[in-house]
Amino acid sequence: MSNRYSEHDHEHYERPRRRTRPRTKDRPSYDDAVLARVVTVDRGRFTLLFEGRRVMAMKSRPLGRKGVVVGDHVRVVGDMSGDDGSLARIVEVVPRTTTLRRTADDDDPVERVIVSNADQLVVVTALADPEPRPRLIDRALVAAYDAGMAPLLCMTKADLADPETLLSTYRSLGVPWVVTQLKGEREAGTSGDLTELRDRLRGKTSVLVGHSGVGKSTLVNALVPDAHREVGIVNAVTGRGRHTSTSAYLLELPDGDGWIIDTPGIRSFGLAHVQPENLIEAFPDLEEMTEDCPRGCTHGTDEPECGLDEAVAAGETDPDRVESFRRLLAARSATDW
């Protein structure tokens, strides 16, 4: 330090010595960084939304191997113009409120964060064509509860079948639901039948999941009329042709009414990372009844002396609710999704 300025001593006679920024070991403070949100990720390049425009960015060195995912709020430096060929740098990921995770498959313990900072998981299922797949819905619910996200069951194609049968499976869990129909008398683009869904999405970040053919794209296009164009812009910016169908992307709802994250490539959730203790936390009334469970009790059907059985026997809880909770618990290790 002492000889660092020796060659420039004359400068220090002329003006007070300025505190220099830490140079090497200390982390730079990036006082000039701005906040943006990650819209999509494509081969190490990130599309961010900043002041209404899309900006391309890459991770900066201080982030190391820390992942950046769709939904992240990030701090960014560099070229925020969004002009062709511009590239900003992500210097920090703002702590996440939620993380939706999946294990690659149930036997593979490597878990990955799919999206972050989402409040709600919208499980999109058709009432017919294709037939609902309750096991798949159960697994999505497990992922939501584990992530601390509120679930919403969105039943599409209400013009084709009645929701009652499916609803009876989820009523005791208290899963909120909406129905939509975007064909028949009401075509996509008309407002009427989406009012309830829009109300449920308002002010939140919601992730939409659903298997092929349930009408998820139709729904997204009805909610965000220029969704195709917006996704098109993402493509134009990356210059990599058609938007890869395997990546999630975030869209802002019209009038700043919230955010949706579509997940075209995600049809399944490996749930190997989900612990029974985390799942039951989503049902505080049931959790209360497990306080005297034997150590290590999973609260499943075959557990001896589980507090849930005692509560049912004593008439203290709804047996359907316990049964449904246990169905979810079992769905963790199902192999048919």
Ligand X SMILES: Nc1nc2c(ncn2[C@@H]2O[C@H](COP(=O)(O)OP(=O)(O)OP(=O)(O)O)[C@@H](O)[C@H]2O)c(=O)[nH]1
* Site for ligand X, rule CB under 6 A: 156-157, 159-160, 180-183, 210, 212-218
| Closer residue to ligand X, CB minimum distance, 72 or 193 | 193
Q: Shortest distance, CB of residue 208 to ligand X, whole angstroms? A: 9
| Closer residue to ligand X, CB minimum distance, 97 or 218 | 218
Q: Shortest distance, CB of residue 212 to ligand X, whole angstroms? A: 3
Provide the residue type at 232 as one letter: G
Provide the residue type at 56 as one letter: M
> From the list 293, 322, 328, 329, which residue makes contact with Zn ion (rule: CB under 5 A)?
293
CA atoms within 13 A on the CB side of 88: 29
Q: Shortest distance, CB of residue 217 to ligand X, whole angstroms? A: 3
Q: Shortest distance, CB of residue 293 to Zn ion, whole angstroms? A: 3
Count of residues that bind Zn ion according to CB under 5 A: 5
| Closer residue to Zn ion, CB minimum distance, 33 or 308 | 308
The bridge status of strand 258-262 relative to strand 249-252 is antiparallel
282 binds, among Zn ion, ligand X, none (CB under 5 to 8 A by kind): none
Residues 6+ apart with CB under 8 A from 337: 133, 135, 136, 139, 267, 268, 269
Q: Is 299 in the site for Zn ion (CB under 5 A)?
A: yes
> From the list 34, 233, 272, 297, which residue makes contact with Zn ion (rule: CB under 5 A)?
297
306 binds, among ligand X, Zn ion, none (CB under 5 to 8 A by kind): Zn ion
| Closer residue to Zn ion, CB minimum distance, 42 or 146 | 146
156 is in an annotated binding site: yes
154 is in an annotated binding site: no
299 is in an annotated binding site: yes
Cβ–Cβ < 8 Å for 296, 277: no
Query: 120: exposed, middle or buried (C-beta count within 10 Å: 0-12, 13-18, 19+)?
Result: buried
156 binds, among Zn ion, ligand X, none (CB under 5 to 8 A by kind): ligand X
194 binds, among ligand X, Zn ion, none (CB under 5 to 8 A by kind): none
321 binds, among ligand X, Zn ion, none (CB under 5 to 8 A by kind): none
Provide the residue type at 330 as one letter: A
297 is in an annotated binding site: yes
212 is in an annotated binding site: yes
Cβ–Cβ < 8 Å for 59, 88: no
Write b or e for each residue in 241-255: b if 16 or more Cβ atoms lie within 10 A of its Cβ, otherwise e. Answer: eebbeebbbbbbbee
- What span, in angstroms and rounded, lies between the C-alpha atoms of 28 and 35? 17
Neighbours of 6 (CB within 10 A): 7
Cβ–Cβ < 8 Å for 100, 120: no
Q: Shortest distance, CB of residue 191 to ligand X, whole angstroms? A: 14
215 is in an annotated binding site: yes
218 is in an annotated binding site: yes
- What span, in angstroms and rounded, lies between the C-alpha atoms of 283 and 286? 5
> Would you tell me which residues interact with Zn ion (CB under 5 A)?
290, 293, 297, 299, 306
**Which residues belong to the annotated binding site for GTP?**
156-159, 210-218
